[in-house]
Amino acid sequence: MVDSFSARGLRQVYEGSRALPGTVRAQDVYTAAAYLRSRRDIDASRVGALGYSHGGWTGLWAAAHRAAERFGRPPLAAVVSLYPFCPKFAPPLDTDVLILAGDADDWALSWRCTEFSAKYTADAAHRPSLVVYPGAHHSFEVNAPDRLYFGHDLRYDAKAAEDAFLRVRQFFDQHLRP
């Protein structure tokens, strides 16, 4: 697990993601990947990332061609982003990406991910796969009581969570297993 907050004196970024942009956290992902790749018990060609919300946004940045180029590292083998903040533009990707979002999310709006994914043509080397769960909110996989957090509606959705966990396992099996 990558902790991008502590060394920077941050406890959260919910009140303003500008305090720690996804581009900066992407470097943390590549630093962690470099460490994993240095270990003899890790297959260096099979390192991926999983991120939720701000971490999902970070995963999208880490999947971009310019991230691997900028950090002088090999790209990740796979990225899963749950309810990320999807950007308005679609940079070339060096990594296959799975995005899982809820259409009732009032924080990370799923329509942005729909527009983001649609910008990749069928002939793109790496095109994001997107699943949008009807009625699912932010943090739909967290089995906790419904709550308001920084003014946003967080709700567990057992059906979406079950499907998401299955898809994450299948995606990583497809991209990370020998």
List, in order, residues 6 or more apart from 156 with CB less than 8 Å away.
139, 140, 141, 142, 143, 144, 145, 146
pLDDT at residue 22 is higher than 80: no
Looking at 3.40.50.1820, 1.10.3470.10, 3.40.50.720, 2.40.30.10, the CATH number of the domain 6-176 comes to 3.40.50.1820
pLDDT score of 33: 94
Question: Can you list the alpha helix ranges (DSSP code H) found in 39-157?
Answer: 54-63, 65-71, 110-118
Provide the H-helix boundaries in the chain.
22-38, 54-63, 65-71, 110-118, 158-176
Q: What is the pLDDT of residues 59-118, one digit of tens each?
A: 999 999 999 888 888 999 999 999 999 999 999 999 999 999 999 999 999 999 999 999
pTM: 0.90
Average pLDDT rounded to a whole number, residues 157-166: 98
Could you tell me where the DSSP H helices lie in 39-102?
Answer: 54-63, 65-71
Asked if residues 85 and 108 have their Cβ atoms less than 8 Å apart, the reply is yes
